[in-house]
């Protein structure tokens, strides 16, 4: 059995190497590649992805998994090897259920759809994107059928990002969350708005960059195993556990973009850097799910980066970096400014109190499309109606509405809810952390993030993808994903900022 396990690990190692090289090809494309490289790059990524897929779905892997499964079931279910066989088998089954003709066809469809979406958004012409999205919805329904029987047609899509999670669970959570977030938003709207004009001034890009790097250095981002570069659409990527890189975008006329972008991506990267090195070159060398990943980025961006305690430590330094812009802005004003709540059209610019509403709207529309309750042609109207109901604003154009996100053009349905779930989980973890480290606020005020990081390493990071997200959350906080902690956080934080009773 040890020999078969070693053989499996060897093949998975090759697959991991191909994925790592593909990630570098992608990173380079977004950070360094000259325009003329695009055709070569497309061929290279295509070739490596295809080789990785072929290696992974080979009969040899299937036979090894079959042989190893009974053995793995005799092991401690939390052991690396038991998890490896379990997770690999799950991924193998998913990968082999989808015919390669479907994968090839879907790739073609989404390449065309992406181009059409870019044009549709530029011209504010939903009709140009509509037939492509119709094809995508049709093919996503086909995809779901590969996994029949299912409880809900959306389940197989969700499962790609949140292993084991069911649509019904998410709907239940969101049903509780939505009215309370809408209610909070209405209460805030009745209060006097805070000032954040000082954030919209000229801030030297190089200095912004240095401040962000200094902050994440304190967080514990390991520069020996990472670096930061510029990219138009920031992301975190890993070429193995020894090399986890982040990218950031700098806006010289708005302080928040680079600052909170860097803190956010660092949260993702610190998670990956914390995975036990012995899991490297296996399918376990990644996050447990997108929601768990997002819980880490949101924690480092919001629960830390937008907290009062964080700025008790960092604000003097920021003022010294930008004396002309912030010399006369006191800490309290600054804190309120970076936490300004304002219903807006664009998800990626949304504040903490409105963000989830953008997500819930998208989830409801995705589910309606998949169920056949909503035609693509009616999508813009449905979008605008929900925007008005949840956020009280209506997009003046589809470009600022239904066409704003890239996801659907890439065929990605099932992804959006993970953003909101990440917010919830971050607060569930946060409550537990504060129980376990009662002095945490004091530590943060001193710029000391070491005990927090040690806690996260121990309880979350080291496990990588060994456990399903719901199992991991239960293991850490004793209960499944729920909105209570997040709601309590929002009410407390914004109650204080806006003087709600």
Q: How far is the CB of 31 from its own copies (least distance, A)?
A: 9
Residue 269's alpha-carbon distances to 50, 232, 359, 460, 482, in angstroms, are 27, 18, 23, 13, 25
In three-state secondary structure terms, 277 is: helix
Nearer to its own copies, 32 or 492 (CB): 32
Residue 162's alpha-carbon distances to 3, 86, 141, in angstroms, are 32, 16, 18
Q: How far is the CB of 88 from its own copies (least distance, A)?
A: 18
Nearer to its own copies, 242 or 480 (CB): 242
Instruction: Tell me, yes or no, if 458 is annotated catalytic.
Output: no
Rounded CA gap, 246 and 454, in Å? 21
Nearer to its own copies, 100 or 193 (CB): 100
Q: How far is the CB of 49 from its own copies (least distance, A)?
A: 11
Rounded CA gap, 376 and 382, in Å? 10
Q: How far is the CB of 28 from its own copies (least distance, A)?
A: 6
**Chain contacts with its own copies (rule: CB under 8 A):** 13-14, 17-18, 20-22, 24-25, 28, 32-41, 43-44, 46-48, 51, 222-227, 229, 239-243, 245, 280-281
Nearer to its own copies, 74 or 224 (CB): 224
Beta bridge partners of 230: 248
Structure-token pair, residue 334: 């600054």
The alpha carbons of the chain give a radius of gyration, in whole angstroms, of 23
Q: How far is the CB of 29 from its own copies (least distance, A)?
A: 10
Q: Which of 89, 265, 301, 364 is catalytic?
A: 265
Nearer to its own copies, 123 or 225 (CB): 225
In three-state secondary structure terms, 345 is: coil
In three-state secondary structure terms, 228 is: strand
Rounded CA gap, 45 and 385, in Å? 40
Rounded CA gap, 69 and 124, in Å? 52
Rounded CA gap, 285 and 312, in Å? 36
24 contacts: CB under 8 Å, gap ≥ 6: 239
Rounded CA gap, 316 and 331, in Å? 9
End-to-end CA distance of the chain: 64
Contact 150, 138 (CB under 8 A): no
User: How many residues are there in the chain?
Assistant: 501
Q: With the C-alpha atoms ordered 148, 153, 158, 160, is the resulting torsion angle positive or negative?
A: positive
Nearer to its own copies, 48 or 255 (CB): 48
Rounded CA gap, 463 and 275, in Å? 6
Beta bridge partners of 205: none
Nearer to its own copies, 46 or 372 (CB): 46
Nearer to its own copies, 146 or 223 (CB): 223
Rounded CA gap, 335 and 315, in Å? 9
Burial class of 29 by CB neighbour count within 10 A (0 to 12, 13 to 18, 19+): middle
Structure-token pair, residue 317: 């330094």
Structure-token pair, residue 76: 């401690």
Torsion of CA 251, 254, 258, 261, to 10 degrees: -120
Contact 481, 173 (CB under 8 A): yes
Which residue in this structure is represented by tokens 């490896």?
A: 84
Nearer to its own copies, 38 or 168 (CB): 38
Instruction: For residue 19, report the phi and psi dihedrals to the nearest 5 degrees.
Output: -65, -40
Count of C-beta atoms within a 10 Å radius of residue 217: 12
Would you name the residues annotated as active-site residues? 265
């Amino acid at each position: 059995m040890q020999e078969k396990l070693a053989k499996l690990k060897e093949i998975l190692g090759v697959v991991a190497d191909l994925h790592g090289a593909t990630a570098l090809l992608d990173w380079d494309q977004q950070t360094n590649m000259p325009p003329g490289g695009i055709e070569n790059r497309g061929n290279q990524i295509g070739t490596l992805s295809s080789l990785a897929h072929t290696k992974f779905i080979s009969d040899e892997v299937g036979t090894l998994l079959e042989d190893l499964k009974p053995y793995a079931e005799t092991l401690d279910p939390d052991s690396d090897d038991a998890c490896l066989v379990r997770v690999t088998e799950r991924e193998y089954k998913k990968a082999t259920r989808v015919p390669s003709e479907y994968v090839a066809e879907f790739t073609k469809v989404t390449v065309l759809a992406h181009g059409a979406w870019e044009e549709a958004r530029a011209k504010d012409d939903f009709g140009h994107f509509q037939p492509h999205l119709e094809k995508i919805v049709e093919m996503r329904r086909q995809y779901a059928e590969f996994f029949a029987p299912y409880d809900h047609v959306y389940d197989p899509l969700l499962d790609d990002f949140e292993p084991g999670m069911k649509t019904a669970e998410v709907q239940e959570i969101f049903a509780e969350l939505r009215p309370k977030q809408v209610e909070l938003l209405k209460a805030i709207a009745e209060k006097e708005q805070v000032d954040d004009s000082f954030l919209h001034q000229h801030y030297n890009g190089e200095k912004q960059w240095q401040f962000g790097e200094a902050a994440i250095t304190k967080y514990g981002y390991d520069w020996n195993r990472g670096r930061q570069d510029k990219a138009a659409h920031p992301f975190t990527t890993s070429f193995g556990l020894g090399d986890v890189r982040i990218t950031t975008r700098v806006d010289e006329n708005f302080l928040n973009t680079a600052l909170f972008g860097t803190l956010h991506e660092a949260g993702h990267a610190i998670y990956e850097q914390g995975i036990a090195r012995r899991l490297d070159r296996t399918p376990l060398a990644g996050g447990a799910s997108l929601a768990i990943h997002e819980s880490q980025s949101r924690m480092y961006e919001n629960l830390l980066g937008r907290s009062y305690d964080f700025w008790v430590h960092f604000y003097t330094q920021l003022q010294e970096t930008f004396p002309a812009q912030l010399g006369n802005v006191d800490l309290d004003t600054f804190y309120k400014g970076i936490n300004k709540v304002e219903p807006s059209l664009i998800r990626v610019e949304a504040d903490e109190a409105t963000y989830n509403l953008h997500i819930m709207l998208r989830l409801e529309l995705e589910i309606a499309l998949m169920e056949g309750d909503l035609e693509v042609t009616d999508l813009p109207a449905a979008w605008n109606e929900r925007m008005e109901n949840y956020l009280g604003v209506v997009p003046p154009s589809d470009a600022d509405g239904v066409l704003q996100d890239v996801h659907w053009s890439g065929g990605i349905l099932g992804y959006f809810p993970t953003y909101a779930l990440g917010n919830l989980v971050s607060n569930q973890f946060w409550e537990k952390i504060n129980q376990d480290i009662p002095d945490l606020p004091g530590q943060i005020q001193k710029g000391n993030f070491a005990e927090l990081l040690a806690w996260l390493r121990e309880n979350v990071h080291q496990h990588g993808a060994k456990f399903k997200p719901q199992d991991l959350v239960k293991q850490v906080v004793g209960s499944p994903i729920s909105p209570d902690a997040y709601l309590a956080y929002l009410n407390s934080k914004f109650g204080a900022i806006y003087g709600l009773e």
